[in-house]
Amino acid sequence: MERYSKNRQAILECLRSTKIHPTAGWILDQLRPAYPSLNLATVYRNLIRLKDDGLIRSMGDIAGEEHFDGDIQPHAHVICTCCGKIADIPLTESIINLMESAGRQTGFEILASQLTGLCPSCSGSENRKE
């Protein structure tokens, strides 16, 4: 039978209850009121553990910080490479087909689709150069 600490459970529930794809630091800030002694290292450790157990997923480093996702169903995101903003996009038939087709072509096990670009705010400012 698997041990399951209060901290780990709280971190998992925190991740599952938000749609913002947070970082370790954000999770710590959320849980501090209820778990005043909770340590950042513990958050990181449990995120790694939850990821290894397949209960959460990492979105990789976005704008310098690793973001996590409590939704392990295959789905898609749009990410702003400038400010790190993340938007969900509905997982349409065409995206599923694309993921499957790319998986067949490359031999990869495709788990997520990330479209990257510039959000409305960043698109105006940063790209007035070319």
Partner DNA sequence: TACTAAATGATAATGATTATCATTTGCAAA
Partner DNA sequence: TTTGCAAATGATAATCATTATCATTTAGTA
List the single partner that 23 binds among DNA, a copy of itself, none, CB under 5 to 8 Å by kind: DNA
The residue among 18 and 98 lying less far from DNA, judged by its C-beta, is 18
Residue with tokens 């169903």: 73
Least distance from C-beta 41 to a copy of itself, angstroms? 18
The residue among 34 and 103 lying less far from a copy of itself, judged by its C-beta, is 103
Using CB under 7 A, list all residues that contact DNA.
1, 3-8, 23-25, 35, 37-42, 44-46, 48-49, 61, 64-66
The residue among 29 and 100 lying less far from a copy of itself, judged by its C-beta, is 100
- Cβ-based neighbours of 17, under 8 Å, separated by 6 or more: 70
- Cβ-based neighbours of 122, under 8 Å, separated by 6 or more: 80, 82, 83, 85
Least distance from C-beta 7 to DNA, angstroms? 3
The residue among 59 and 96 lying less far from DNA, judged by its C-beta, is 59
Least distance from C-beta 52 to DNA, angstroms? 11
**95 near 122, Cβ under 8 Å?**
no
Handedness of CA 30, 32, 38, 40 (dihedral sign): positive
List the single partner that 1 binds among DNA, a copy of itself, none, CB under 5 to 8 Å by kind: DNA
Q: Return the H-helix or E-strand segment holding 45.
A: helix 40-52
Q: How big is the chain by its Cα radius of gyration, in Å?
A: 17
